Amino acid sequence: MARKPTNPTSRTLARAFGFTRLIVALGVFSALAFSLALFIAAIVQAYHTIGDAFRDLGEPETTKHLLVAAVEQADTLLVGVALLIIALGLQGLFVGRLQNVPEWLQVASFDDLKQKLLGVVVTALAVNFFAVALEWTGGSDILVYGVAIAAVILAVGVYSSVLGRLHSASAQAGSERVDVDAHP
């Protein structure tokens, strides 16, 4: 059981840190709300798009419209998933662990949360480019857009690789420290 701070300054700091947990909890709630709104919007959009497509099913333009709508829905769902990962990760790191969360969604550190989010961001960028490519009608502007997205994905990949190496190096240094402490 945690001891209560004895001096007034410690109590004030303890209250301030307790307040930051409330701020993070509000951020978690807002990310969950946006995630839920995006999932509902994607479902409603799919319902309307598929309903409208049944009237003209079999026509080439309808098929292309369905394909573009499906990719755009995937993009919307990926952003919703990213917000869900952020909400669950922040909850686990700052407020308290959640029960019944799949193992792959367990977040052990802020770096772990960033790695999970980066994977979703790269996928969302690729899906977004695919949606733009499907609607592309010609010209070289798509090449510039594709190179820009590729540069961002490359930068994210390099950052993720460096982050992973730093994380594994610090974990290895921590385990070596434990070994040194265990063997005097």
Q: Where are the domains of the chain?
A: 8-182
Going by C-beta distance under 8 Å and a sequence separation of 6 or more, which residues neighbour residue 101?
A: 88, 92
Q: How confident is the model at residue 41 (pLDDT cuts 50, 70, 90)?
A: very high
Considering only the C-alpha atoms of the chain, give the largest distance between any 2 of them, rounded to a whole number of Å. 78
What pLDDT is attached to residue 176?
Answer: 62
**Hey, which of 9-23, 27-41, 70-84 has the most confident mean pLDDT?**
27-41
**Residue 53 vs residues 12, 28, 70: alpha-carbon distances, Å:** 61, 37, 12
Least Cα distance to 25 among 106, 85, 88 occurs for: 88
Give me the phi and psi of 179, to 5 degrees please.
-65, -40
Higher pLDDT, 101 or 153: 153
Query: What's the CA gap between 26 and 138, in Å, rounded?
Result: 46
What pLDDT is attached to residue 180?
Answer: 47
